[in-house]
A and B are shown apart, each in its own frame.
Chain A
Amino acid sequence: DAGVTQSPTHLIKTRGQQVTLRCSPKSGHDTVSWYQQALGQGPQFIFQYYEEEERQRGNFPDRFSGHQFPNYSSELNVNALLLGDSALYLCASSFTLSGWYDDEQFFGPGTRLTVL
């Protein structure tokens, strides 16, 4: 079992650019959540995808968008990058059974995004 994987590991962009981060969930998982972890802070919930739809969303602007594919993998897109978007982006996967949420999330190693 490969666990949760994320790509790329590191990324450097300039202000105003767009970025796409990718996540493959743990085998058997169908739900993907994305978190932003600024330096020295705890992760902040961005949004969650289930059945290819955004199920819930945190307090992030519309510049942050996502997608989930039929194989349950997911992308996080950030448009018009700001310096403040520099952070570690974590993907977590879990399993939802008939609307009953599994309480355990498995995290990937994250993508370190630096915006210059």
Chain B
Amino acid sequence: AQTVTQSQPEMSVQEAETVTLSCTYDTSESNYYLFWYKQPPSRQMILVIRQEAYKQQNATENRFSVNFQKAAKSFSLKISDSQLGDTAMYFCAFMIKSSGDKLTFGTGTRLAVRP
């Protein structure tokens, strides 16, 4: 079975600064996807960034980037120039490519951006 671990229940960052959220996972599969989802108070889960396991290059989306360490099974999210609108729960998620789009989520990190 696949597991996803987020060891930081809560994080806080000053507006305009950089913050890194941690995620580790465990799997014996070699072909999979990793995701970071954002869930603001409105509850709607929004995809922030995704990474395919076979790609060595780390994914980036504007202010969001990941540090994907496949051997260490680590997938951290870096948010640069933090904005008040980044305040939300952030979930790391995993999907085995061969099993369709069933996502396995971590327990989340609550991020607060301070003005």
Interface residues of A (CB under 8 A from B): 31, 33, 35, 40-45, 48, 55-56, 58, 88, 90, 92, 94, 96, 101-110, 112
Beyond A41-B108, A103-B101, A108-B44, list 12 extra A-B contacts (CB 8 Å): A31-B101, A40-B108, A42-B4, A42-B91, A42-B93, A42-B106, A94-B101, A103-B95, A105-B47, A105-B103, A106-B47, A107-B45
Asked if A55 meets B100 with Cβ closer than 8 Å, knowing A90-B45, A110-B44, the reply is yes
Taken together as a complex, chains A and B put the C-alpha atoms of A101 and B106 apart, in Å, by 22
Interface residues of B (CB under 8 A from A): 4, 33, 37, 42-47, 50, 52, 91, 93, 95, 97, 99-108
Residues of B within 8 A of A45 (CB): 102-104
Residues of A within 8 A of B37 (CB): 107
Residue ID in chain B nearest A101 by CB atoms:
B100
Residue ID in chain B nearest A110 by CB atoms:
B43
